[in-house]
Amino acid sequence: KAGVTQTPRYLIKTRGQQVTLSCSPISGHRSVSWYQQTPGQGLQFLFEYFSETQRNKGNFPGRFSGRQFSNSRSEMNVSTLELGDSALYLCASSALTGDEQYFGPGTRLTVT
């Protein structure tokens, strides 16, 4: 079974721009979660989608948004990028609530 895939793997953007990251979960998994990882703050939960509905949201500003499609693929969008948004963005999928989450390799975003 293929693992969680994230595209692109690396991205460089300029402050003020917007960016869209993509995540394809493991086949059959309906839950997709997004995390931001930075050296200073560690791994922080962004939001979780299940069957196209956002069920949980972390403490991030409205510039961070996401969506999930009917095939469970998910996208995350960050608008008006700030230098502090530079981070590794991780996506994780699970089959059902409470199941272990399988993480993708992440997208490394650098904002200059």
Interface positions with another protein (CB under 8 A): 4, 31, 33, 35, 42-45, 48, 50, 55-56, 58-59, 90, 92, 94, 97-98, 100-106
Q: Which two tokens stand for residue 87?
A: 């981070």
Name the residue nearer to another protein (CB basis): 8 or 16. Answer: 8
Least separation in angstroms between residue 86's CB and another protein is 15
Name the residue nearer to another protein (CB basis): 35 or 64. Answer: 35
Least separation in angstroms between residue 31's CB and another protein is 5
Q: Which two tokens stand for residue 91?
A: 């996506």
Contact 54, 74 (CB under 8 A): no
CA distances from 41 to 26, 84, 85, 91, 106 (A): 27, 11, 12, 17, 16
**Integer Cα distance of 112 and 96 in angstroms:** 38
Least separation in angstroms between residue 79's CB and another protein is 23
Least separation in angstroms between residue 106's CB and another protein is 6
Name the residue nearer to another protein (CB basis): 10 or 14. Answer: 10
Contact 8, 107 (CB under 8 A): yes
